[in-house]
């Protein structure tokens, strides 16, 4: 082997040793950095471990219900934990429409819940199931708010959290929305005890027979509400109104149609 070849071999060996030493140094620095980062992250996780969950809602009852069902793991923190899962627990409550969260460092989690708003009060015995516009059954009550449309005469098999659907639910929503601004005559009742003569009643018992033809149900209901106002303007009081005919037929208070449809005092 020539002197030149020996020199080149020694040079390559020296380069490899320097490269290996440099790689070992970088690896050591990386390991030390990882250890330091791990310690720092561990300290941060410990520092931001959730110690308090505050539930906020416009409805204090909903806030209390959510507070009772939230299950926050003891290791949960504001940095690495999936806080959306905690908000998801709140959304499983029937009365919650939406839930969001906010971090309050170092150790507080704020959960804000938007409650579902009831639209209907569905009768069953002496109790009423409150139902929202999406058909979600919210809770039972014995005294529904006067702003809610009361639905009577229909067998209800429902439980809290169940979602109602079908023609009768949709029909009830149409009536409730048509009467939303007719506050003066609350509480309104949708009486389905005789489905062919589906009726809307005012709080004082004035009846408007609207029927079950869904094509223009909202129009018939609005006509009834408007007729009540017009009668009052004339110093009269409406007693009964048949809205399945065109034009509708109205009877003043104290008058009722006989079997032939004639007005009977």
Cis peptide upstream of residue 135 (ω within 30 degrees of 0): no
Q: 91 is written with which tokens? A: 């959304």
**Amino acid 196: pLDDT:** 86
**Amino acid 29: pLDDT:** 46
- pLDDT grade for 255, boundaries at 50, 70 and 90: confident
With tokens 């094509």, the residue in question is 215
CB contact set of 259 (below 8 Å; sequence gap of 6+): none
Query: How far, in Å, CA of 144 to CA of 149, rounded?
Result: 9
pLDDT by residue (tens digit) across 110-158? 999 999 999 999 999 999 999 999 999 999 999 999 999 999 999 888 8
Name the pTM for this structure.
0.79
Positive or negative: CA dihedral 26, 27, 32, 33: positive
**Amino acid 23: pLDDT:** 64
CB contact set of 110 (below 8 Å; sequence gap of 6+): 54, 56, 101, 102, 103, 104
Strand pairing class (96-104; 108-115)? antiparallel
Cα-Cα-Cα-Cα dihedral of 38, 42, 48, 49, to 10°?
A: 140
pLDDT by residue (tens digit) across 52-77? 999 999 999 999 999 999 999 999 99
Query: How far, in Å, CA of 174 to CA of 189, rounded?
Result: 13
pLDDT by residue (tens digit) across 71-109? 999 999 999 999 999 999 999 999 999 999 999 999 999
């Amino acid at each position: 082997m020539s002197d030149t070849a020996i020199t080149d071999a020694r040079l390559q060996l020296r380069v490899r040793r320097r490269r290996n030493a440099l790689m070992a140094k970088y690896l050591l620095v990386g390991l030390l950095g990882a250890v330091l980062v791990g310690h720092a992250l561990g300290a941060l996780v410990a520092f931001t471990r959730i110690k308090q969950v505050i539930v906020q809602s416009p409805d204090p009852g909903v806030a209390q219900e959510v507070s009772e069902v939230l299950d926050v793991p003891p290791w949960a923190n504001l940095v690495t934990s999936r806080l959306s899962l905690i908000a998801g627990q709140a959304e499983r409550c029937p009365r919650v429409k939406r839930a969001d969260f906010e971090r309050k460092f170092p150790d507080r989690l704020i959960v804000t819940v938007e409650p579902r708003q009831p639209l209907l009060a569905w009768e069953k015995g002496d109790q009423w199931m409150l139902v929202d516009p999406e058909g979600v059954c919210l809770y039972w009550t014995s005294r529904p708010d006067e702003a809610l449309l009361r639905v009577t005469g229909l067998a209800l098999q429902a439980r809290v959290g169940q979602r109602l659907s079908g023609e009768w639910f949709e029909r009830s929503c149409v009536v409730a929305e048509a009467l939303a601004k007719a506050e003066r005559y609350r509480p309104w009742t949708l009486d389905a005890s005789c489905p062919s003569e589906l009726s809307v009643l005012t709080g004082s018992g004035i009846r408007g027979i609207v029927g079950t033809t869904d094509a223009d149900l909202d129009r018939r209901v609005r006509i009834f509400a408007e007729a009540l106002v017009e009668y009052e303007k004339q110093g009269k009081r409406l007693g009964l109104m048949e809205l399945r005919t065109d034009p509708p037929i109205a009877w003043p208070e104290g008058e009722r149609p006989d079997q032939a449809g004639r007005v009977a005092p």
